[in-house]
Amino acid sequence: MNSDEVWFSHREKIFQIKDGKVEWTDETKIWNWDHCTITLVKSPKKKLRVVVRSNANRNQTSFKVNRPMTLRYMLGFDIDQVYPLRCESPNFKNNSENSNLSWTGPGDRWVFQLDEDYWIWEYKQDGSDVNSSNVYKIYQEILGSLSSTIQDGFDQVFDLQPKSLSDRMVIDHLQSPPGSMKDRIIPAIYQPAIDGLKNYLREVHCAQKDLDGGISEVEVTLIFNNEELRKHRLLDIPYRELRRLMYNRDSDVESFKIHIDRNNMKNNRFIFKNIHSIIDGINNDLNEDSIHGDPEGTGNAISYYLIDYGHPVIFVNTSNHAMAEHDANQKLWKWEYVPGVMDSPLILGSKTRKEIDAEFDRGQANKT
């Protein structure tokens, strides 16, 4: 592994996709993830939030993008307790009844547990000392942060650390963007990875207007590969045909606005008109596919930022791509989209929604 990467394991109920919906079973399993980095933030609930990131390299071969890319993943959860760091040897006498609970190798590892369902660990190298391990550094950081969580309060800006090559690429891009992107407001976007298998995000367009008084207004348009219905699975094919007839496209296109007040960040807002996933205080999750909250477009305070105030965080929460300032699918790994990063699978542009709709219309006319 490179830099400060570690392994991460978590015990979770096994889910299955049944008739398009995510259903959680009573059976649990421990999942192991390599090439992980750990970041700590303070949650609004005055708890310590552990943010785990991992990544995988792929080659993008779409007609618009043909280059190596990195898929970035994120899982965030709040904790109350950390157990002592220890050296654990494989239990080679393990049987099927406890195979989900015991370490089976192939070698010794340094490991510590968080709450009841999370573990951070790395393999023990011959002759190595625990104090020199990445796990030890993370363990000490978590202990220190747990003791100061309530006193320090909540910080909206997530301070990503350069603990891996992937993380360094994101940080370098956000802190030192190319000249044409220096003052642009570009959101960081999180989408449940299982939804992204068919509904993945293809393009992000940020049409920015800088007004007097330090105000910026950004119309953000997201182009998804598809919109797969889950709750109303039987309507998926008819709905897709309807989308072709009405909008001349298979892709799902969603737009919202970001209002940034550079003189008073407390005034910053998302305007998710007709696509807010929160209705009557309920933050609807991935199984919902007909959520259209905030029809008036009154705006919602931005809850989180990545690195700085120029990169507000949004969560794509439902199957019809309704969004919110909070995550409604905390048990699911997210794809982390940072538009503009060199190895991102996304295309970053600056077209308005009107321009994008016109392009789809012209494409249909040319096809005819």
Q: Look at residue 92 and give its three-state secondary structure.
A: coil
Q: What is the pLDDT of residues 123-173, one digit of tens each?
A: 998 878 899 999 999 999 999 988 875 556 667 888 888 888 888 989 988
Q: Distance between CA atoms of 196 and 227, rounded to whole angstroms?
A: 10
- Contact by Cβ (8 Å): 270, 312: yes
Q: Distance between CA atoms of 237 and 233, rounded to whole angstroms?
A: 8
Q: What angle do CA 266, 267, 273 make, to 5 degrees?
A: 125
Tally of residues, the chain: 368
**At 155, phi and psi to the nearest 5?**
-115, 120
- Name the pTM for this structure: 0.86
Q: What is the pLDDT of residues 7-58, one digit of tens each?
A: 999 998 888 777 667 788 889 899 999 989 999 888 777 788 899 999 887 6
